[in-house]
A and B are shown apart, each in its own frame.
Chain A
């Protein structure tokens, strides 16, 4: 199985700041990586797929990048609504696997 190592587990920031979340795959997955946002009382939201392609409706302050097996989710100019849990997920092969999550707190 492809192991997804996500870091950090917790991240504290203030509105207006920029943050980055990392996800490292245990082997090559090409660009087959997605990022999701989880918020209490709301359904999980697909933010980015294929490493860097914004899903329709995702604000442009979100961006994704890749370097080899390392993937990064960057959020610029944080807004209050961005404080949430974030997960990466590889979809290169079965079984699909998720990172362990990053809690972004104010």
Chain B
């Protein structure tokens, strides 16, 4: 069974940094592109970006370029999202997702909640 488990969320102050993790199991992690998506309170889904299976390519939504960094450790079956200079508008649940054969997400985690507030 495919499982994705996010962790590392919490309450942080504006301007601080946070690194989320997503541990994968049940599939061949090192052959799968992976995505991060977020959902602000009472809002819809917002795609953050993706990383190729081997880390050779990354793409970020413009609004998050430069502040957010996606990385992975295939030896640990773990995906990361490092977030810097956090703002109140980054308050959201952050999901990792596995990409299927097309650029769709065929498995999701339950998400990690991040609250940016003083």
Contact = CB atoms under 8 A, between A and B. Distances in A.
Q: Most B CB atoms within 10 A — which of A41, A46, A97?
A: A46
Judged by DSSP, the binding face of B is strand
A94 B99 CA distance: 14
B44 A87 contact: yes
A63 B97 CA distance: 23
A50 interface: yes
Interface residues of B, number: 24
A46 B59 CA distance: 22
Contact of A44 (B47, B61, B100, B105): B105
Interface residues of A, number: 22
Interface stretch (A13-21, A66-74, A76-84, A98-106): A98-106
A98 B46 contact: yes
A95 B95 contact: no
A89 interface: yes
Interface string A17-52: 000000000000000101010000101111001100
Interface stretch (B12-20, B68-76, B84-92, B106-114): B106-114
A46 B100 contact: yes
A98 B47 contact: yes
A94 B110 contact: no
Interface of A: 32, 34, 36, 41, 43-46, 49-50, 55, 87, 89, 91, 94-101
24 contacts: A32-B103, A34-B104, A34-B105, A43-B108, A43-B110, A44-B97, A44-B105, A45-B108, A46-B104, A46-B105, A46-B106, A46-B107, A49-B102, A49-B104, A89-B104, A89-B105, A95-B61, A96-B103, A97-B47, A98-B45, A99-B44, A100-B44, A101-B44, A101-B45
